[in-house]
Each structure stands twice: as C-alpha cells, then as structure tokens.
Chains A and B, each alone.
Chain A
Amino acid sequence: MIDFLTNNARKIRLTLIIAGILIGLLLFIGLPVILVQSSIRLATPYILGALAAMVASRAGVLNLAIDGKMLLGAFIAVVVLYKTGYNPIVGVVAASISGGMLGLVFAVLYLRIKINLIILAIALNLFVANATVFFMRVSFGAFGTLADPSISGLPTIQLPIISSIPILNERLSGYNIVVYIGWVMIAVVWLILFRTRFGRHIRAVGENREAAESVGINVTLVQVFALTLSGALAGIAGSFLSIGVLSQFVENMTAGRGWTAITVSLFAFQQPIAAFFTSLFFGLSEAISLYLQGQPGINIPPDLLLAAPQVAALIALVLVAVRIRAAELLKRRNFATHFGQELANLKRAVLERN
C-alpha cells in the first residue's frame, strides 16, 4: 500500500486535485443559483477572517481575537453611517481602519507589555462584545440593536464582463463589494506572503523567531505589521455582516464566525488559496442546511439538517488527519530507505578501506 503511494505520489496528487476541481465545478453549475449565492455570501466572513488568522499565525502570533475585531468592524461600520448619510463604502473603510487599530493595540500589548496571547485575545473579545453594547446604549440610546433608515447597506455590484455570460452571471456577479474584496484579498495575501521580500520575512519570523532575528530581520516590526493587517481584514469581515448582509448592528452579531474563521485557516494549512476553498466548503454546508429545510418534499428533522456543517467539518477533519498521517508515514519510510542505503554505502566504504 505504502509502496504504491510512494511510487505514484505525484499521479495521486494530480488525480485528487483534478477530481476536486471537477466536483467543485459540478457543484458550482449544478446546484440551484440561490444555493450558490447563499454559500458565497456565507463564506465571505470566513474568507476574510481566515486570511486575518493566517497572516498573524504566519508571523508567529496566534491571533484568537479575530471574533472581537470582526465585531468591532461590524459596529464601527454602522456607527459611521448612522445619521450621516455617507456612502456605505465609507463604513467598510472605517471598519478596516478600526480593526487595524485594534490589531495595533493587540500588537503593542503583546510585544511591549508581553501579556499572554490567549488571555489577551479573550480579554479583547470580551471587551469588544461589551463595549459595543455599552456605547450603543450611551451614545445612541439603543438597546442591543442599532438600526436606522439612514444606515444603508452596501449595494450589489454587477461585474462588467461576467454579468453578460449566461451561467456565470448570476453565480459570480451581483454581490456587494466586500465579497469581491474577499476574493481580491486572497490573491493579495498570497502575493504578499509568497512573492515579496516582506512576506518572506513574515514567514521566517513565524518559522523561527530567533533565526530570523539573527539574520537581521526586525521581528517586532514584522509582527506589528502582520497583526495590523490581520485586524484590518477581520474588520472588513465584520462590516460585511453589519452593512453587507444586513443594514444594522446587532449585539454580538458575529455569532462565533471569528472562531470558525480560525478553524478554516488551520484546515487550510495556512494557505490562502486552500483557505478560499475551505471557506466555500463551510459556506456551502451552512447554506445547504438552511436551504434544505425550506424544501417541502424533503422530510428530514431540522435538527439533523442544521448539524450538517458540523458533520461536514468532522469529515473534513478526519480526511485532513489521514492525509497528515499518510504524509508522515511516507516521509518516515523514505527516510528509512535513504538512511539505510547511506548506511550500507558507508559500511561498504569502511570495509573496502580495510
């Protein structure tokens, strides 16, 4: 079995990737339009949140405060638009700035005062969850929900060329700007991480802090930058919830999406492109669980359907674990054969000399 895997590793890999692409395309075209749209919308906060988690952990900081930054972004986006009549884009920008600022604060507290990362993240999450409620009440006199006709949601945008292609138009076009920002950010983060000098520094710091320091990389600067970028991405994700999907802020409206995003990033082995597809997978399973309930012909208990995302996550987790285990076995075996050969060569060499 293992021999087969070793000898055909490349072919197997290629087959799996092609199969994945085919299944993806089949789902993309075969599923009802509303389901595809729903999955893409539900995936957007995961995409941005996962990128946020990824940038931070690539720089060696476990950022568990994604949820709090998302919530702050959601709140600020609505606050900026409340009774001002600004364009909703201003809300998105403000959300990303506020998320970035919180990321900066996080970085300062962690790097200067050296607070434990996990405690700091939990504290920030709690602080944002309660501060938003507090300010909603003090500044706006609103209890738990901040809604006003003056807060306008983001308009949907039809992409120029795609909207004239028959099948793609309703599936790829007609979302609001944050969805597209999410797609663009995948590419941007990938480029930053793998195609720039600074990205190499980020990865170096994440792999081995001391080694990076010893070759003259400014570790503090790299981590501050990564955490700020991470916060800004999470802030945009938050604005998608409050002014992208809805046009109001509801207390604690992230409903744990920041945590799911961290999971997505881990699932995807901190790879931006893999994170994109993992997010879509999570979005799809969530959308299916909601969609199937409304089908009069299908008679499955709703609780079972609602558990679909969790079941899907569990299956994915098992597959990932199997893959890791298989890779490890292969590595060990390869090492053993190589090492055995080297050892034999050495032995022969020693014997010959004698």
Chain B
Amino acid sequence: MSRLVRPALILVVLAALVGMFSVSLVSAQDASDYVDPCLAEGAEAGAEAEAVEVPDNSDISFQIILPGARGDRSFTDSAAAGAERAIAELGVDGTIIEPSGAQEHDAAIRRAVQEDPNLVITIAVDASVVEELVDEYSDQKFAAQETFFPAPPEYDNLALFNILTHENSYLAGIAAGMLTRTKVVGAVGGGDFPGINLFIVGYEEGVKSVCADCTVLRSYVGGAEPFNDPVRAKELSLGLFSQGADILYQVAGRSGEGVLEAAKETGNFAIGVDSNQDDLYPGTVIVSAMKRVDNAVFGFVESIVNDTYVPGTTNVGLAEGYAGLSWDVGICSRTFDENGPEDLVEKLPAVRQAIDEARAKILAGEIVVTNALFDSAS
C-alpha cells in the first residue's frame, strides 16, 4: 500500500510544483516573495523513502485497539495507518483491533492482553477504562493515546501520549479567516466535549486574529451517533451555509463526510481534520488540520523495538511536529492550489506567509492559544 502511496506523493508534489509556478507568476509581482519551504523538503522526503530495509523483528508483537471501526478517513484511519507502517517498516508482528464502539473497549483490551504482546496501544479509550486495566495488568506495557486524565496518572507500565491540536487549529483558523468571502465561517463538532472544543476554540481564535469582524458559527452534530451520522451533519452544514458561512471546519469524525459533501454541493469550502482530507473533494477542502496519530503509533512501536519505552505522560503539539496542517508536516498537499477557484488561490501565498509567521510566534510563545482541554472555562 505505502509503496503505491509514495510515488503518488512525489507526483502530487511535482504537480504542485507546476501549479505553484503558475500561481507565483501571477502573484510574484504583488510583494509576495514568499518561498514555499515545503517543496524542497517534500522532494527530499520522497527521495529518502526509497531506501528502506525491513528488519526482522517478528519476535516483537503489539496489539492496537482503535476507538471504532476504520473508515472515517480521519482520526481512526490515521492511527491504523501508523500501525500498518510499523508492521511494514519495523517488521514487527502487529494486530489491529477494531471494536464496534466504546462499549467494547474494555473487552477488546482484555483480550489483547491475553495474547501477551510486548505492547498494547489504546487509541482514544476512556480514561477510567485505561486506568483500571493498567492497574490490573501491571506486567503488561501499555501505551495510551488521546486519553485525557483529570490528573497525570503515574504507572510504570503506561506511556500516555496526547497530541494537542489547539495550535494547528489556530493556523487553520487563519486560513479560514483570510480566505472567507462572506466574513462568516463555521465549525462543526461532533459533540460539546472538551476534546472537541480543543479544536474549535483554537480555530475561533485563529479566525479572529486575522479577521476581527468575522463571525464564527459553532454547531454540534449530537444525536444518537454524533460521530457517525453524516446525514445530520449535512443538514446542519446546509443550515450554516444558509446563514452566510462559506468555510466550515469539521471536527466530527465520520459525520464530517456530511460537512464536506454539503460544502461541495453548495459550492462552499471546508477544512478537514486529523488526516489529509484535501483530496477527498479537490477544490472544496482548503486544507486539513493534521494530527499525526500515525507517527505517534509508529513511535510507540519503535520505542519497544529500540527498547526506549518510557512510562509517563507526554503532551505534544505543533512544536514537535505531531500537529500541523496538510500544507506542511510532510504531506505538502497542494490540491487546493490546483483545484480551487482563482480568487482564493491567488491569496494562498499570503495565507501561507501569515501562517508561517503565526507558527513562529506560537513556537516562540508570543501567541498563546487557549487550550480548551485544560482551561474548561471556554
């Protein structure tokens, strides 16, 4: 699978190069001497990837429990992709478990522990479940991701790893704020939870930072299946578009498919989440706020292979390269440049420059983005 992806990636980068040249011809005159740092890096990454030898680590095994079935083309799929890459590149023996929902997490983890793997990775499993099982199976090494404890837990068999996405959502907000034609943008979350508001609050601040008089409409899908009901999400989005919003940021898992479709159908735009969703609807999805869950999963497996497993809590984000935009973080998506409408594509170099400046300021600590997860007041 990944063998196919990489040449495709190079092709995309090359195509993007051509696209960028034609764009820069237009915009080069008007002051923007912005050089895209992504292009050079992207080409290198592509060249590097050719020489990978698969070591034999088949005596090392891991089991990964996904939050639900694959197919959200977002968060869950990203985690699964990381596990698949680890199996392919590290030569370890891995099992990917897809429970049907939160009610099966406990049983799935218990079953995984029975197999006696070197590492059990849980993705977005509830804190109380993780805590109970980590306590019960103290000989089993666990790695938990996207599990938010009220206080950092201390177990010597649990490595906790959280990717915080308020800062890259802020960058996505800058893109939305600069590209909106109507000065109204929106965010669609699955439900009103801190883990979702982490994205939305960051996004709102990003929008406001470049467009103080913009309105940000915030809506949640809710219902029986907040993260698996694209039909509701689509109705919700059509409502937001009728309110004058022209860019929606979706943070709703598989429901998000409905948001993207609504944007496509009404000729508006959307911002993807977690995985690179730019190519799902070329010209409609402007950019995706990426969360490199795949890299984190890969890192966990690598830590077992290299015997560098350290228990404890790690929070990473923009600075460590785990959160970013699909325009960077090793993806270098330029789909919107090629397929977007001209008036917006013309603005992209300026947007990228603003984003780069904001990123530098965030990393330097000059801009502090509200973290809705720890600061529940927002």
Contact = CB atoms under 8 A, between A and B. Distances in A.
A84 to B, nearest CB: 20
B225 interface: yes
Nearest to A241: B231
A71 interface: no
Given A294-B217, A302-B219, A34 B238 contact: yes
B367 interface: no
B228 A255 contact: yes
Nearest to B80: A143
A290 B236 contact: yes
Interface string B212-232: 000101111011110011111
B2 to A, nearest CB: 15
Contacts of B230: 245-246, 248, 250, 253
Bin the interface of chain A by size. Answer: 35 or more
B234 interface: yes
B15 interface: no
B73 interface: yes
Contact of A145 (B231, B232, B235, B254): B254
Interface string B257-275: 1100100000000000000
A252 B70 CA distance: 12
Nearest to A291: B239
Contacts of B243: 294-296
B71 interface: yes
A286 B236 CA distance: 10
Interface string A264-304: 00000000000000000000001101110111100001110
| Chain B facing A: main interface SS | mixed
Contacts of B229: 253, 255
B231 A255 contact: yes
B257 A144 contact: no
A147 interface: yes
A255 B257 contact: no
A42 B228 contact: no
Given A255-B229, A256-B224, A145 B73 contact: yes
Contacts of A32: 242
B236 A145 contact: no
A57 B125 CA distance: 41
B177 interface: no
Contacts of A42: 231-232, 235
Nearest to A245: B231
Find the residue from A34, A241, A256, A287 having the highest chain B CB count within 10 A: A34
A293 B236 contact: yes
A144 B71 contact: yes
Contact of B235 (A41, A144, A247, A256): A41
A287 B238 CA distance: 11
Interface in A18-65: 32, 34-35, 38, 41-42
Contacts, number: 113
Given A143-B69, A302-B220, A306-B223, A253 B232 contact: no
Contact of B257 (A145, A256, A290, A306): A145
Contacts of A35: 239
Given A248-B257, A286-B232, A255 B223 contact: yes
A290 B215 contact: no
Most buried by A among B71, B72, B223, B229: B71
A294 B69 contact: no
B239 A290 contact: yes
Contacts of A136: 71
Nearest to B189: A302
Contacts of B76: 144
Contacts of A287: 235, 239
Nearest to B216: A296
Best-buried of A38, A133, A306 by chain B (most CB within 10 Å) = A306
A246 B261 contact: yes
B192 interface: yes
A255 B232 contact: yes
Contact of B192 (A248, A291, A296, A302): A302
Contact of A245 (B219, B234, B245): B234
A210 B228 CA distance: 45
Interface in B181-220: 186, 192, 215, 217-220
Interface in B49-77: 69-73, 76-77
Contacts of B217: 293-294, 296
Most B Cβ at <10 Å: residue of A144, A251, A291, A303:
A144
B234 A246 contact: yes
23 contacts: A41-B235, A42-B235, A143-B70, A143-B77, A144-B76, A145-B257, A147-B257, A245-B230, A246-B258, A246-B261, A248-B230, A251-B69, A253-B228, A253-B231, A255-B229, A256-B225, A286-B223, A287-B239, A290-B235, A293-B236, A294-B186, A294-B243, A296-B217
Interface of B: 69-73, 76-77, 80, 186, 192, 215, 217-220, 222-225, 228-232, 234-236, 238-240, 242-243, 245, 254, 257-258, 261, 280
Given A32-B242, A296-B243, 17 more contacts: A34-B239, A38-B235, A42-B232, A143-B80, A144-B70, A144-B72, A248-B230, A248-B261, A250-B71, A253-B231, A255-B231, A256-B224, A294-B186, A295-B243, A296-B215, A302-B218, A306-B223
